[in-house]
A and B are shown apart, each in its own frame.
Chain A
Amino acid sequence: MDITTTISALLTLAVFSFLYGDNPVYKFAERLLVGLAVGYALVINWQQTIIDRLYTPLFIDGRLALVVALVLGLLMFSRFKRSWAWLSGIPLAAMIGAGAGAALPAMLEARIFKQLSATVAVFHDASGAFEMFSAIVLLVGFVTTLGYFYFGVHRSNALAVSSKIGSYFLMIFFGATFGYTVMSRMSILIGRLDFLMRDWLGVIG
């Protein structure tokens, strides 16, 4: 067994000790994790972004267009001086403008248009009674759930019934998501216990 396995196992136990109550051993492990994660992200970002995408292409390969990116990036640091802080609005405006411009059509297309057309297309693609039934459930779920979030008008009887049905669909969704989340968290615990018993203690073959 190598030293890294032992360190990893001891840190796992240190984190598990929180289940009994907050304690210095847990605090140490928690702070070590935060520190390492930040340090690691900094190093990776420095090498793979600043060096690979800016320093090397600009100062070694001579791609002068990157001066614009360098200046915009440096302007972000103007926030540290109150009288210059307004300058940081320039790179922020560029980021938000470009980000929203790229995101809007893509999100509309993928999240709304394609999902909407799929809700209707299942009727066309349904080849049997069960598929048709599923398509109807999907459509009813879609319309009633949307109705549940329609707060702008007085809730007539029809809308009240529709939103009640919508709320049941929502509950089913939340129930399924909760079930999957429990499964996910259990998987993580199983992974760590398997590591402790197999790789560290060797009690599982």
Chain B
Amino acid sequence: MSDTQTRRAQKTRRLIFSGVFLSITIGLLLPFQPEVTPSVGTKSMFSFIENIKPGSTILISFDHESASFPEMKPLAIAVVSHLLKRDVKIIAISLFPEGAGLGASLLRRLGEENKKTYGTDFVFLGFKPEPRATILGMGKSFSFVFPFDFYGTKTSDLPIMSADRYSDVVGVITIADGSYPSHWIEYGAAKYELIVLSALAASMVTSYDPYVTSGQLHSILGGLRGAAEYESLLNVDGGGSRAMLAQTAAHIFIVLILIVGNISYLRSRKKKV
């Protein structure tokens, strides 16, 4: 590539970045939000949680890293808040070291906001490596795999840990940015008939849709859009809803860039011919 071409490519790159930045900033600053219609998957997860008997226990796994937290946070807040409002007890774990810190602080904050007691209404057991061994081990006993919680308390001393196996929980919600829902499906659902639901990063939705069709995954909540849909069902104004205008603006800009890029490619090809 010649110097002129390199400079032009660099200039185009910066123009695209500036365009994306501007479209998102304007979208965030404008004081209105587009209307969001909940999808079938979102409604399915909502009605699953809505139908859990108060006092039941659910397992939540924070299977994501800090890099995807801006996308995972609105999803996690929407789902965990709904569970706490429905008086569902939460046993949370993480299969990623980074997910442990993020999950622990998020759960603590939401627990306090909803006036729930740690150890009775919710607990964070922390991280364990090797997801397959962890999921299979928990099939025998949660407290065997997690003898202490994230803060060093013996799990056998916590009232919530009377739920100690998969048969004692209504299911698992994996809040994931990668392929970890596969482990829950393969080892949790297939072996222990655990109901698996997933709040996923948008980039993973197409990979897990077939599992919903086959019934191995109960439902998927996908990306910021999924969070916005869930918030609309909860009737709250959260991080997902607030981001919808910015996301729409960014998508329109990217579609325009794709059209312009393709036209310019076709024109350059025509010139060569």
Binding site for B on A (CB under 8 A): 19-20, 37, 40-41, 44-45, 48-49, 52-53, 56-57, 99, 102-103, 106-107, 109-111, 114-115, 117-118, 122, 138, 173, 176-177, 180-195, 197, 203-204
Which B residues touch A102, using CB under 8 A? 132, 136, 187
Which A residues touch B20, using CB under 8 A? 186, 189
> Known: A183-B247, A186-B250. Is A191-B239 also a contact (CB below 8 A)?
yes
Q: Which of B14, B205, B216 contacts A19 (CB 8 A)?
A: B14
**Would you give 20 A-B contacts (Cβ < 8 Å), ordered by A?**
A48-B148, A49-B128, A57-B147, A103-B186, A106-B191, A110-B185, A114-B190, A114-B216, A118-B213, A176-B206, A177-B207, A181-B203, A183-B203, A183-B225, A183-B251, A184-B68, A187-B247, A188-B68, A191-B69, A195-B70
Q: Which of A49, A173, A189 contacts B206 (CB 8 A)?
A: A173
Residue interface mask B20-39, A partner, CB < 8 A = 1:
11001101110000000000
Which B residues touch A188, using CB under 8 A? 67-68, 70-71
Which A residues touch B251, using CB under 8 A? 182-183, 186
Residue B176 at the chain A interface, CB threshold 8 Å: no
Q: Which of A48, A109, A176, A193 contacts B28 (CB 8 A)?
A: A193
Stretch from B93-101, B108-116, B164-172 at the A interface: B93-101
Main secondary structure of the interface of B (DSSP, over half): helix
| Contact between B29 and A191, CB atoms less than 8 A apart | no
A138 to B214, CA, bound (A): 12
The distance from the CB of B141 to the nearest CB of chain A, in whole angstroms, is 13
Q: Which of B101, B186, B204 contacts A110 (CB 8 A)?
A: B186
| Contact between B205 and A180, CB atoms less than 8 A apart | yes
| Contact between A107 and B186, CB atoms less than 8 A apart | yes
Which B residues touch A99, using CB under 8 A? 132
Return the chain B residue nearest A172 by Cβ: B206
Which A residues touch B203, using CB under 8 A? 177, 180-181, 183-185
Return the chain B residue nearest A36 by Cβ: B66
